[in-house]
Structures are given as structure tokens and as C-alpha cells.
């Protein structure tokens, strides 16, 4: 396993081999704080079986990572799913694997969400396959870490096109057709905790995800009258090949990241799939305009000015308290 701390790392010794380690395919981090024992991840589907019977769900980026896990859970709960992204072979493999496990059909449709014409054709295909969906999960994304001064205009455009424009094209195309057909739907966008705070080194992603949040909050207000709900999940770190290979390619930052998560571990794809299923289900029919942070406490841990005091020992606290109590006046 990777033992390298960023501060002490010798960059030359960081092996790219780590990217192919089996830990990329495991569900939780190999490293975790001892408190993680208090917070074991449950992997089973949480909702009653049949919760999505007779419902159609579109999941963009459903062939891999978190989108795949959401597809598997919705399919297990009875939904007919459509997964859409650029790589048809990946989609078809995932669709076959999930269908054969759940007995419910998963359709694979090729679509580059950056291209509004491709999105429109994709929705034509969906209408022909299943009819308009009841559940839409905008999960497709692109990202990589990069100092902002190294970004080319096309790098900026590529990320913001996938994340913000892609989400808008899918949402508007489906929204218009649903409105025309007087059909209600649940829309869910997957953003990130730094959509709220901003973050250096992922600036196109942070900007685009913030835009997605504004889009979804705005439409929650505007399109309730058409029977449409809009919600947002902000995940904290969950190991997927797509994210970790582009955001921490050497594995050097993983320990520091887990150390700052109060629950002492990464999230798992199954956990976010359960949350996404709940938000998209009729159990959440009164939920709209919600922004749900799902991050093991990482955001508040990063935000609190005094949180570093977690490392102060009980003996050191005795000393500190004595010093503070001794202080008289200002």
C-alpha cells in the first residue's frame, strides 16, 4: 500500500504502478482512521424492493464509477435504466452485467453531452426505447488537477462543456419534452463539496459544478409547476478510477485526505447509490431544491479554523487550560 506523505515524498519514487493497484477497485480506502470502525458502510439497497417498478431512469456517465453504482441500485429496485456516455463498449458491458444480475433491462445509448444535437438524438432514442424517463441523474463529468496558469482555453472549455453545458443540454432537452407530454420527473445532479467553497487546482470543475448548482436550484423554483423536482448531491471522496487517476494520480494525497475526514474513511459507491435512489424515489416527493452534502464530514473539517486542535493531547490540554485560566485582563 502507499505509505507516502506529500510533505516527505520523493517524487521520483512515486510509482505510476499504483494506479493499477487493486485498491482502485476496492470500495473503501485501505487506509482509514480507527474511528472508521464506528461508521461501517452498508452496501445493501436501502429502499424496499420494487420501489422503482414501472419507472424509467436515465443516468449519464452510468457505465463507470458512481453512475454505475447508481444504475445497479435503481435496477435492483425495479427501474428500467438507460445509461449514456461516449464509450459505447463500456456502456454495453455495464448494461449487460447489471441486467443479468437484476433481471431488469439496462439500455446503453452513446452520447457526448457536450453536443446539443447528440443529446437531442439520444433523447429520441430513449423515447423510442422506453418513453421519457421519470428519473434523470446528471452524473457525467470531466476533471483533472492542474495549476490554473497551465490551463489552455480548450482545457477550460472541455471541462465546463461536459459539466455545465452537458448538464444543461440534457436537462433542458428532457425538461422541454416532459413539459410537452405533461409528465413529471425527478432530476438529480451530482456535484462536489468544492462547488460551494471553490478550490484551487480544479478551477474549471469548481466553476462548472457551481453553475450546475445554480441551474438546479433555479429550475427547482421554476419547474415545480410542471411536476419536476431538482436536487443536488455533493459527494466527498469516493474511490473510482475516473476520479482518483485524474485527481491524485500518484496516491500521494490520499492519507492526508482520509486524516481530515471525521468519519475516518472514504465513502463507497453503494452508499451514494442508496442516497441517490432515495432522492429520486417517491419517498422524497416533497424534496426539491435540496443540496445534500455527503462527505463523512470532510467539508466542515476543512472549514473550521480550530479543527487542527484535534491533535492536542489530554496532557497538552491541561497545560493549555492552566495557561488560559492564569490570564487576567487583556
Ligand X SMILES: NC(=O)C1=CN([C@@H]2O[C@H](COP(=O)(O)OP(=O)(O)OC[C@H]3O[C@@H](n4cnc5c(N)ncnc54)[C@H](OP(=O)(O)O)[C@@H]3O)[C@@H](O)[C@H]2O)C=CC1
By DSSP bridging, strand 228-235 and strand 185-190 are: parallel
Cα gap 259→221, rounded to integer Å: 38
Interaction between residue 290 and ligand X (CB under 6 A):
no
Interaction between residue 105 and ligand X (CB under 6 A):
no
Closest CA to 142 of 245, 44, 250, 291: 245
Query: Rounded to 5 degrees, what angle do the CA atoms 244, 246, 247 make?
Result: 65
Considering only residues 231 through 250, tell me which ones interact with ligand X, judged by CB under 6 A. Answer: 235, 237-238, 240, 242-243
What are the residues facing 109 on neighbouring strands?
A: 84
Closest CA to 274 of 27, 72, 107, 97: 72
Binding partner of 66, given ligand LSB7OOIR, ligand X, none, CB within 5-8 angstroms per partner class: ligand X
- The residues that touch ligand LSB7OOIR, with contacts defined as CB under 6 A, are 141-144, 146, 150, 152, 154-155, 158-159, 192, 205, 237, 242-244, 246-248, 253, 257
Measured from the CB atom, is 162 or 210 closer to ligand X?
162
User: What mask, x for binding ligand X by CB under 6 A, covers residues 181 to 220?
Assistant: ---------x-x----------------------------
Which residues carry out catalysis?
194
Interaction between residue 122 and ligand X (CB under 6 A):
no
Q: How far is the CB of 209 from ligand X (least distance, A)?
A: 7
Measured from the CB atom, is 25 or 87 closer to ligand X?
87
Binding partner of 248, given ligand X, ligand LSB7OOIR, none, CB within 5-8 angstroms per partner class: ligand LSB7OOIR
Measured from the CB atom, is 230 or 244 closer to ligand LSB7OOIR?
244
Q: Which residues contact 321 (CB under 8 A, 6 or more apart)?
A: none
CB 142 within 8 A of CB 159: yes
Considering only residues 29 through 68, tell me which ones interact with ligand X, judged by CB under 6 A. Answer: 60-61, 63-67
Binding partner of 90, given ligand X, ligand LSB7OOIR, none, CB within 5-8 angstroms per partner class: ligand X
Closest residue to ligand LSB7OOIR: CB criterion: 142
Measured from the CB atom, is 14 or 247 closer to ligand X?
247
Residues making contact with ligand X (CB under 6 A): 60-61, 63-67, 85-87, 90, 111-114, 139-142, 162, 166, 190, 192, 235, 237-238, 240, 242-243
Amino acid at each position: 500500500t502507499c505509505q507516502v506523505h506529500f510533505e516527505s515524498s520523493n517524487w521520483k519514487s512515486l510509482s505510476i504502478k499504483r494506479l493499477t493497484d487493486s485498491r482502485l477497485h476496492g470500495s473503501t480506502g485501505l487506509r482509514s482512521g480507527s474511528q472508521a470502525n464506528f461508521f461501517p458502510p452498508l452496501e445493501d439497497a436501502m429502499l424496499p424492493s420494487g420501489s422503482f417498478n414501472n419507472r424509467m431512469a436515465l443516468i449519464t456517465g452510468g457505465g463507470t464509477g458512481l453512475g454505475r453504482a447508481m444504475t445497479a441500485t435503481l435496477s435492483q429496485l425495479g427501474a428500467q435504466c438507460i445509461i449514456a456516455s461516449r464509450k459505447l463498449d463500456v456502456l454495453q458491458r455495464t448494461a449487460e452485467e447489471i441486467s443479468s444480475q437484476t433481471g431488469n433491462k439496462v439500455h446503453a445509448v452513446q452520447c457526448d453531452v457536450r453536443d446539443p444535437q447528440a443529446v437531442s438524438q439520444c433523447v429520441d432514442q430513449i423515447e423510442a426505447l422506453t418513453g421519457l424517463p421519470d428519473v434523470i441523474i446528471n452524473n457525467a463529468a470531466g476533471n483533472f488537477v492542474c495549476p490554473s496558469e497551465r490551463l489552455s482555453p480548450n482545457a477550460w472549455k472541455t471541462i465546463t462543456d461536459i459539466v455545465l453545458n452537458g448538464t444543461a443540454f440534457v436537462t433542458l432537452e428532457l425538461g422541454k419534452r416532459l413539459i410537452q407530454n405533461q409528465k413529471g420527473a425527478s432530476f438529480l445532479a451530482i456535484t462536489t463539496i468544492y462547488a460551494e467553497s471553490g478550490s484551487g487546482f480544479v478551477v474549471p470543475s469548481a466553476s462548472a459544478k457551481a453553475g450546475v448548482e445554480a441551474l438546479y436550484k433555479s429550475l427547482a423554483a421554476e419547474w415545480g409547476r410542471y411536476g419536476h423536482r431538482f436536487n443536488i448531491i455533493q459527494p466527498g471522496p469516493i474511490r473510482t478510477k475516473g476520479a482518483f487517476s485524474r485527481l491524485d494520480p500518484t496516491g500521494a494525497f490520499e492519507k492526508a485526505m482520509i486524516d481530515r475526514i471525521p468519519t475516518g474513511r472514504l465513502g463507497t459507491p453503494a452508499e451514494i447509490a442508496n442516497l441517490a435512489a432515495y432522492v429520486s424515489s417517491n419517498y422524497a416527493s416533497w424534496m426539491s431544491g435540496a443540496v445534500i452534502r455527503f462527505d463523512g464530514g470532510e467539508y466542515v473539517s476543512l472549514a473550521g479554523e480550530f479543527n487542527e486542535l484535534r491533535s492536542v493531547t489530554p496532557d497538552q490540554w491541561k497545560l493549555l487550560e492552566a495557561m488560559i485560566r492564569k490570564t487576567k485582563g487583556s
